[in-house]
Amino acid sequence: MTTCVVVKKNGQIAIASDSLVTFGDTRLSHAYEVNNKIFQIGESYITLAGTAAHFPVMRKLLTGMGEECKLNSRDEVFDTFSKVHTILKDQYFLNTKEDEDDPYESSQITALVANPYGIFGVYSYREVFSFDRFWGIGSGRNFALGAMYAVYDKDVSAQHIAEVGIHAGVEFDKSSAMPLRIHSFEMKQPPGA
On the question of pLDDT at 9 being above 70, the answer is yes
Q: How many CB atoms lie within 10 A of CB 57?
A: 18
Among the residue ranges 6-10, 13-17, 51-55, 118-122, the one predicted with the least confidence is: 51-55
Higher model confidence: residue 46 or residue 94?
A: 46
User: Do residues 143 and 137 make contact, with C-beta atoms less than 8 angstroms apart?
Assistant: no
Among the residue ranges 91-95, 145-149, 162-166, 168-172, the one predicted with the least confidence is: 91-95
**Distance (Å, rounded) from C-alpha 71 to C-alpha 130?**
11
For the residues 185-192, what does the mean pLDDT come to? 87
Sorted by sequence, the CB contacts under 8 Å of residue 23 that are 6+ apart come out as 52
Give residue-wise pLDDT tens across range 111-152.
999 999 999 999 999 999 999 999 999 999 999 999 999 999
What band does 95 get if pLDDT is binned at 50, 70 and 90? confident
AA identity, residue 34: V
Q: What average pLDDT does the structure give for the chain?
A: 95
Backbone phi, then psi, for 90, in 5-degree steps? -80, -35
Q: How many CB atoms lie within 10 A of CB 154?
A: 9
Give residue-wise pLDDT tens across range 21-41.
998 889 999 899 888 999 999
DSSP label of 104 = S
Backbone phi, then psi, for 92, in 5-degree steps? -120, 5
Per-residue confidence (pLDDT) for residue 169, from 0 to 100: 98
User: Do residues 113 and 126 make contact, with C-beta atoms less than 8 angstroms apart?
Assistant: no
Per-residue confidence (pLDDT) for residue 97, from 0 to 100: 81
On the question of pLDDT at 96 being above 90, the answer is no
**Distance (Å, rounded) from C-alpha 156 to C-alpha 23?**
36
User: Do residues 112 and 4 make contact, with C-beta atoms less than 8 angstroms apart?
Assistant: yes
Per-residue confidence (pLDDT) for residue 193, from 0 to 100: 64
Per-residue confidence (pLDDT) for residue 8, from 0 to 100: 98
Sorted by sequence, the CB contacts under 8 Å of residue 32 that are 6+ apart come out as none
- Residue 59 host element (H or E): helix 54-64
